[in-house]
Amino acid sequence: MSQKRIIIVGASSGIGRIMAEMYLEKGNIVGVTARRENLLNELREKYPNKVFVCCFDVMGNENEEKIKQLIDQLGGLDLLIYNSGYGEPSKDLKWEIEQTTTKTNVSGLVQIVSMAFNYFANKGSGQIAITSSIAAIRGNSWAPSYSASKAFMSNYAEGLNIKANRLEKDIVITDIKPGFIDTKMVKGKGRFWIASPQKAADQIINAIEKKKRVAYITRRWWLIAQIMKLLPYNIYKRIV
């Protein structure tokens, strides 16, 4: 596999960190972003001359500037992975949770991914991967902004795939829909089919390499997605 220039937004820990290390082990050069600079610097120390660090919060106003800076440092870009995400239970519909969720999962996503898409459109080719969620399938009373924002991410990915097709550009956007992964993002009761971050990262990278438009992580969550889509509202509302 030829060397790729990759940016992973949200790479300080969990799946993002594992994917960064996997891509680096394959000989790629990787730009990593997150809020916690010390964790990003650990990657740079482990892989000198192959990792470029850029510390910023996707809820801020530096997204475009910071991503452009990384692209310049990498000498171009072949793949961007938007792995940054936020989600907390919001039983009482707290504005702080709703706002942070929307800024991270929607506003940050649009600013960074639209810029990457335009970059690839000018270049003629490229790949983008967006980490949405199985929660994107339907609404959820315990975390309404989370499920809604993840649905936005999925629809945005589909829209960009259609746009790339109409522009006749070789650009693929992969919508990654994880189920329960054993990370700090997984909260609440009733969890099942919990996958390790390593297994999730393996399947995500495999889906990206195969240029899939939609990937359920792990693959068995495709079945849950179909059940969720077909479940009548009067039944569904009793469980979420």
pLDDT in tens, 24-79: 999 999 999 998 888 899 999 999 889 999 999 999 888 999 999 999 999 999 99
DSSP 150: H
Domain containing 136 — which CATH number? Answer: 3.40.50.720
pLDDT range class, residue 122, cuts 50, 70, 90: very high
Residue 143's domain spans which residues?
Answer: 5-236
pLDDT given at position 176: 97
Do residues 106 and 31 make contact, with C-beta atoms less than 8 angstroms apart? Answer: no
Q: Give the full edge-to-edge strand order of the sheet including 5-9.
A: 51-55, 29-34, 5-9, 79-82, 125-131, 170-178, 214-217
Tell me which amino acid residue 20 is: A
Through-space distance between the first and last CA atoms of the chain, rounded to whole angstroms: 44
Q: Could you give the number of structural domains in the chain? A: 1
- 140-158 pLDDT, tens per residue? 998 999 999 999 999 999 9
Report which of 46, 22, 23, 44 is spatially closest to residue 33, judged by C-alpha positions: 44
Report which of 9, 7, 10 is spatially closest to residue 184, judged by C-alpha positions: 10
- Give the span between the Cα atoms of 27 and 21, in whole angstroms: 10
Q: Which residue has the higher pLDDT, 238 or 118?
A: 118
- 165-193 pLDDT, tens per residue? 999 999 999 999 999 888 665 554 556 67
Mean pLDDT over each residue of the chain, to the nearest integer: 92
